[in-house]
Amino acid sequence: MENVHPLRLRLLLEIERTGSISAAAEACAIAQPSASMHIRTLETATGQRLVTRHGRGSRLTAAGKVVASHADRVLAALDSMRRTLDALDGRNVGELVLAASLTPSLVLLPSLLRAYSDLYPGVAVNLRTCPSEGVAREVARGGADIGIAAEVPTAEPVARREILLDELVGIAPPDQVRSEGGCMTLAELDRHTLLIGGESSSTRMVTERYLGRAGYRPTRVWVFSSYEAIIRAVSDGVGVSFTSHLLVREAVKQGELVAFRLLGVERMLRRIHVFESAVRELTPESAAFMTLLADAPRSGVDWREQPAATA
């Protein structure tokens, strides 16, 4: 299979991740016509149809998923070879590729990466922000060395470790909701449009789980693809939502939002995990990051503020 080029394997993985040939081409820094040609060449080399149109996007066929499941290991092996050869030549190069969901990307990682940069100035960092489900997949498929994301069910071959207990809180525009002692009734919640994220979002999964346990089904729901957009929409009076207290603590302090819990509903707690591959060894760069992560409380990297006690 002489035409099974690493670029073509990476394209296939990006199509699986993004659901779009054009997005995959952009991620691989090539033009879309060139990407389509590479995929056709890969299909000829394998003798299988690997990609099919799906609505306005594209998805992998069963054969495509088989090739993709091997592609990440092939690319990881090639990357390991490159690193080893660079070490033989005495080149002081390195790269750390991270995948993280929104809360870790915005709240947990900046201080860690600042400390990492001070310790390892020669290492380039590539941070990808994606939904929690995608983080586990990126790590399992070799697209990222380390992942940090909230709890999600996954069958991917990854090892996970809890690093933080996070709480989701309700958020609403000031002076537009009725709450008492920082708590809102389910009846009051039902007066407002509930804004939630996409199906692969851990925040949405946890919100729906706790509301379901309370026997509550929202009357009106709007779905957004980004919790950054949701927070902005809430501040503009579009509706209410539930999100990590870490994401909105500054906006709450400044009076741009009000935070609340639900009366009679247990606190919406979730675990934040760090993910690594269960089948690949850590690179020196990622091992150094894991050490820094473990030492964070002792090194002055303070992002582990725990949820406040119930009002």
Q: Which pLDDT band, with edges at 50, 70 and 90, does 270 fall under?
A: very high
d(CA 42, CA 65): 13
Answer whether residue 82 shows pLDDT above 80: no
Same domain as 132, residue 101:
yes
Answer whether residue 308 shows pLDDT above 60: no
Same domain as 153, residue 206:
no
- Domain contains 284: yes
Contact 202, 150 (CB under 8 A): yes
Is residue 91 exposed (0-12), middle (13-18) or buried (19+ Cβ within 10 Å)?
Answer: exposed
Last residue of a domain, one of 45, 71, 97: 71
Mean pLDDT calculated for residue range 231-255? 93
Answer whether residue 78 shows pLDDT above 50: yes
Answer whether residue 301 shows pLDDT above 50: no
- Domain contains 308: no
**pLDDT for residue 272:** 94
Same domain as 224, residue 104:
no
**pLDDT for residue 181:** 67
- Domain contains 304: no
Mean pLDDT calculated for residue range 214-231? 93
pLDDT tens digits, one per residue of 134-170: 898 889 888 899 999 998 888 888 899 999 899 999 9
| Packing angle, helices 32-46 and 62-88, rounded to 10 | 100
Same domain as 242, residue 120:
no
- Domain contains 11: yes
Q: Across-strand partners of 149?
A: 273
Same domain as 236, residue 184:
yes
Q: Which pLDDT band, with edges at 50, 70 and 90, does 214 fall under?
A: very high
Q: Please report, for the domain that includes residue 147, its CATH number.
A: 3.40.190.10
Same domain as 257, residue 288:
no
C-alpha dihedral over 23, 26, 27, 33, to 10 degrees? Answer: 80
- Domain contains 93: yes
Same domain as 142, residue 53:
no
Q: Which of 70, 73, 119, 68 is nearest to 96 (CA)?
A: 119
Identify the domain containing residue 142 by its residue range.
Answer: 88-163+272-298
Same domain as 249, residue 198:
yes
Stretch (H or E) spanning 126:
strand 124-129
**pLDDT for residue 298:** 44
Answer whether residue 94 shows pLDDT above 90: no
Q: Please report, for the domain that includes residue 46, its CATH number.
A: 1.10.10.10
Answer whether residue 62 shows pLDDT above 80: yes
**pLDDT above 70 coverage of the chain, percent:** 90
Same domain as 154, residue 92:
yes
**pLDDT for residue 120:** 87
Amino acid at 40: R
- Domain contains 169: yes
Contact 264, 178 (CB under 8 A): no
Mean pLDDT calculated for residue range 61-67? 92
Per the prediction, the chain carries an average pLDDT of 86
Q: Please report, for the domain that includes residue 266, its CATH number.
A: 3.40.190.290
| Alpha-carbon distances, residue 220 vs 180, 192, 236, 241, 261 (angstroms) | 23, 8, 18, 12, 19
- Domain contains 290: yes
Same domain as 92, residue 58:
no
Q: Which of 42, 41, 64 is nearest to 52 (CA)?
A: 64
Same domain as 252, residue 111:
no
Domain count, the chain: 3
Answer whether residue 81 shows pLDDT above 80: no
- Domain contains 305: no
d(CA 137, CA 158): 9
d(CA 1, CA 70): 14
Answer whether residue 178 shows pLDDT above 80: no
Contact 139, 146 (CB under 8 A): yes
Same domain as 130, residue 33:
no
Q: Give me 142's structure tokens.
A: 């070799």
